[in-house]
Amino acid sequence: MSLVSHNPATGEDIESFDELTDEQIEKKLAMAQDAFVSWGKLDFDDRKEKMLKLAKILKEKKYELGKLATLEMGKPITQAVGEVEKSAWVCEYYAEHAEDILQNEIIKTDYKESYVQFDPLGTILAVMPWNYPFWQVFRFLAPALMAGNVGLLKHASNVPQCALAIEEMVLEAGFPEGVFQTLLIGSSKVEQIVVDDRIKAVTLTGSEYAGSQVASQAGKHLKKAVLELGGSDPFIVLADANIPQACEVAVNARLQNAGQSCISAKRFIVAQEKYDEFVGIYKERYEQIAIGDPMDEATQLGPLVNRQALEEIDEKVQKSIEMGAEVVHGAKRIEGAGYFYEPTILGNVTKGMPVYDTEIFGPASAIIKVSSTEEAIQVANDTPYGLGSSLWTSDIELAKKLSKEIEAGAVFINGMTKSDPRLPFGGIKKSGYGRELSDYGIKEFVNIKTVVIE
């Protein structure tokens, strides 16, 4: 089997890579096991030095790496460069803070002494997606390695060059061989790695189906898993919201990365008093979006990742229109090379339509009119997912109260949902479980060990 690097802007294959054989996989597992013996004992200062060097390399190569991401999955170049810069940030964050986060926690008891220490687990398998080919990996890599673990990366099959570039940079930064390795394999070989005794835990970002498969495999073998899966994030606009500001943010919240983000806003739940104003301004912003070659710095919207993604979003949009959704803007493919889709707004969306009921992984917005704040929260929670959410109102105290009612891993008030190294990130319901980033993320893959002195 070959892993193919494919340019979604042109529809052309770039390069293919042979999948690792079972013998090669075994060698990499053994290398990881050997590397952990010494890496797990290394002090924080040595790990910090290498992690800061890695951040420096990312910054120095941000344009080169950005072009690689754009080439393999179609992200507009300015967004791709920003993703690399953010990857450097997470490396710097954990380089500076890991030691403090993982210092022994003293517990006052009637023992002579009692405390909790945080020991690394060993080799962690990361199964990562294509939509943020650098950020998704580094937000796992930085905390895992700073905690003393070693990592194996099974990246998405369509971004093999990004996957190899990450391993090369890790080695260039001075990390010992085997501390972080890329596995060029397809999904069919993931299970044999998950169940291997040398793998101590697994983290996956991807689809609900992929998450359920890996979670099942890990659970059967009593291994911890952290899952970040799909999302159908609500963007709730109450009657007292600043509509021009909300619309300005809404465009980026929906169209960044061509809408191919788990935490992008997908369902826009708007108070009926402001519905017409919101739709009008939102449409004006959509009409100004620059669509085209993702390598052009002026481009704001690039292609979808492949033909299947293009066909799936068009099918959901057309079915919703047949069921009564109003076409406010777009709603069709863009003819020519590559997998481009018009930025789309569907109004008067109701329950039962695909754009209401399912995750829309592309540049299509579903706008839902509600008659009250209570209905807005009910609609926001009317989804099997619970990843992020955005709430717009001028009443901050009300927003804080409503944040307790919204079923999601995050609520951003008057702002766009985003990940940040300083804050925990993850979801509930079918959006997965566990947390990445912040203090919580680095402690997902450590042994929280009690030590008592009588």
**CA-to-CA distance for 210 and 432, rounded, in angstroms?**
11
Residue 382 exposure: Cα atoms within 13 Å on the Cβ side? 18
CB under 8 Å to 273, separation ≥6 — which residues? 239
**CA-to-CA distance for 82 and 134, rounded, in angstroms?**
10
CB of 254 closer than 8 Å to CB of 363: yes
C-alpha dist (Å) from residue 320 to 148, 199, 349, 352, 449: 49, 44, 8, 9, 52
Which amino acid is located at 447 in the chain?
A: N
**CA-to-CA distance for 4 and 1, rounded, in angstroms?**
10
**CA-to-CA distance for 303 and 7, rounded, in angstroms?**
10
Q: Give 301's strand partners.
A: 291
Residue 254 exposure: Cα atoms within 13 Å on the Cβ side? 27
SS3 123: strand
Q: In the numeric block, which tokens belong to residue 23? A: 């013998």
Residues classed as catalytic: 228, 262
Residue with tokens 């890496």: 39
For residue 61, is it left (φ>0), alpha (ψ between -120 and 50) or beta?
Answer: alpha
CB of 449 closer than 8 Å to CB of 243: no
Which helix (H) or strand (E) segment holds residue 312: the answer is: helix 307-322
Burial class of residue 126 in the structure, from the number of CB atoms within 10 Å of its CB (0-12 exposed, 13-18 middle, 19+ buried): buried
Which amino acid is located at 392 in the chain?
A: W
